[in-house]
Structure 1
């Protein structure tokens, strides 16, 4: 359909919030968000006031003499984004999927109990005390063989995986409660980061909040992790003579400690990545950082094309350093925890395959290797799910 400077346009209901440098435009019907500069917001405001495109263009050219203003192209962009309700008398119906309310059954006041104006101070103090405990009692610091509490690997696997799953859920519960404290809907889904299976809380509605409120939601999971780790450290101190209790507490510490450290691997869009993105106001930080690093690392995979706005280049460079630092963290964790743990476990269970099928050690070894098949199966499911979602978003 041809758009002229005399076209009459009406838009679907929009909610506009000012971000650090630009504006976040929310399509109220679909819940989708778009980042736009101030000139676009002024144009949308005048469209909603019923002013013709040619007049809007004249006003904006006068206000922004250094900007290229073309209201016909802008109206076309709004049409492609599905924000135009009618154009020259033709209505563009919008198919809106009816979405469930997520976890709205959780009362907002429950979220407020854990996340309020004082909670950040509490979580910071807990984190500081945990660091002091590590410094005063180095034996509390997690090592890879903390996972080997029992003689049979099947027991170690079941206990460690169960504890890890429980406290991953606790991590996501932190995000959920922080989101519900803002009275926003959310849900928890299965996903992946690189080769790691993860649970993910839907944070899409966070964009409806002011930038200064978002970090509380992004850090909520880590705050719960810190509390869990602190409690496990105290348990080790108080129950020093109880072997099983201390052993389970050590498992909790190593699982939680590694999960916290991984949050600083910002190349995987972890919670800390979104804190950096929110702080910088650059919402293509990863993509821009990858494109910047690709000048020196040609084989570096990229997440897609990126547009860097004026002034964002100075933010991309330090992020690129954080990106590389995150890669170094991943390698370090692999060297000191993941590889030694897997190798040590493999050495312990491999002789079990030489035992008869009636032996508990044979099944101990079998279960140990079956867990890798399960992990790779979940990873394949997560990758295929993400691929299908990507395909459905591509234009036909």
Structure 2
């Protein structure tokens, strides 16, 4: 290999528990290297010729390294500038100033005042505390289903927007994308750029969505207290109840929720979900219906392997919390729908408004179940064909 100096794009080096995460934020390309590999990359990025870097590595760590393979890997990661390629320039991302304003000291003061006001309302007015009956803000079950479903769109957008702005505040190119869960369209935030900042600065972007949920719940609760038991107040309490369910959902860490990423960041893990799943399947592989893991353990860091047995206990606790939530918060809503529907269909006037409202409500539920079955079978067939 002839003497040469490689030209690099601006790189970030972030210390992790199991190595150094090196990244090129503008291209969202990252790799976790052992300390010796990161040290070698630093020398190369500082302008040390490749042969001299190989000699330095041998003298520093007492062994040789295949520089040709190492440099090829850096090319694949797009860390090295190709011939004629200009160095990447980090520019201020859009809405960075808005992100700083949303999480400024003044904003935090306003948020604290709103939450304190909501807590005071909940203490002084027990009737406004979250309850399953609040979901039925009107006697029309069809209106309940449609209005509450539509109300979740702005609520979810607010949740994800706080994630985005928390990332933009750090100058990271966080963005929203649209995905699908079964037959539902969902909005999700891509925060790969967080790998370029120290771990302590990642927590707010991960928790920002839950902050938005708490603020929206507080606003709706205070509004209900101010407006009284009119339609606006009742609708606010209905939406607030669903927000509580969404906050509870964040504790199902086995589903890789926002709190899952908080856990993995605090624990210094990179692929904890897959490592834990494989560990559990290995322990229960003899049980019927449990498939052996097909994951490649090379994708797991040593810390993933060490933490996986402990995180399995947290995952089991998350499943238990899910069951408790279903029993305490979801089953009463389902039971309320069932009782109201049964009463209207059996005791109401045949052909009356209540009868048809309940009939259409049942039809909407049936349509959702049918769509669920159809989409699930189609996805299962697609996976089999791909395999």
Q: TM-score, normalised by structure 1?
A: 0.75
Q: Which has the higher helix share?
A: 2
Determine the structure 2 residue equivalent to 1:305: 296
Determine the structure 2 residue equivalent to 1:39: 36
Determine the structure 2 residue equivalent to 1:18: 14
Q: For residues 260 and 127 of structure 1, do their structure 2 counterparts lie closer, same or farther at Cα, with a shift above 3 Å needed? A: farther
Distance 2:9 2:150 in 1: 46
Determine the structure 1 residue equivalent to 2:131: 143
Deviation per CA, 1:16-48, whole angstroms, max 9, x where unpaired? Answer: 231333333223563222222322222223334
Determine the structure 2 residue equivalent to 1:199: 187
Unaligned runs of 5+ in 1: none
Deviation per CA, 1:61-120, whole angstroms, max 9, x where unpaired? Answer: 43334x88443443343344454556xxxx6999x9xxxx9x965x33322222135756
Distance 1:300 1:141 in 2: 44
Determine the structure 2 residue equivalent to 1:321: 313
Q: How does 1:161-310 map to 2 (within 5 A)?
A: 161-192=149-180, 198-240=186-228, 242-298=229-285, 299=290, 304-306=295-297, 307-310=299-302
Distance 2:27 2:321 in 1: 38
CA contact (8 A) 2:20 2:38 kept: yes
Determine the structure 2 residue equivalent to 1:27: 24
Determine the structure 2 residue equivalent to 1:78: 74
Q: For residues 216 and 248 of structure 1, do their structure 2 counterparts lie closer, same or farther at Cα, with a shift above 3 Å needed? A: same
> How far is the alpha carbon of 1:225 from its aligned partner?
0.9
Two-structure CA RMSD over aligned residues (Å): 4.2
Distance 2:124 2:64 in 1: 62
CA contact (8 A) 1:267 1:286 kept: yes
CA contact (8 A) 1:175 1:201 kept: yes
Q: Count residues with an aligned counterpart.
A: 369
Which of these residues, 343, 355, 360, is aligned with residue 366 of structure 1? Answer: 360
Distance 2:114 2:305 in 1: 36
Q: How does 1:60-75 map to 2 (within 5 A)?
A: 60-65=57-62, 69-75=65-71
Distance 1:276 1:194 in 2: 26
CA contact (8 A) 2:121 2:225 kept: no
> How far is the alpha carbon of 1:251 from its aligned partner?
0.7
Aligned: 1:341 with 2:338: no
> How far is the alpha carbon of 1:323 from its aligned partner?
1.9
CA contact (8 A) 1:178 1:217 kept: yes
Determine the structure 2 residue equivalent to 1:331: 323
> How far is the alpha carbon of 1:364 from its aligned partner?
4.7
> How far is the alpha carbon of 1:142 from its aligned partner?
2.0
SS in 2 for 1:219: helix
CA contact (8 A) 2:270 2:304 kept: no
> How far is the alpha carbon of 1:177 from its aligned partner?
2.4
Q: TM-score, normalised by structure 2?
A: 0.76
CA contact (8 A) 2:6 2:50 kept: no
Distance 2:301 2:292 in 1: 22
Distance 2:3 2:369 in 1: 56
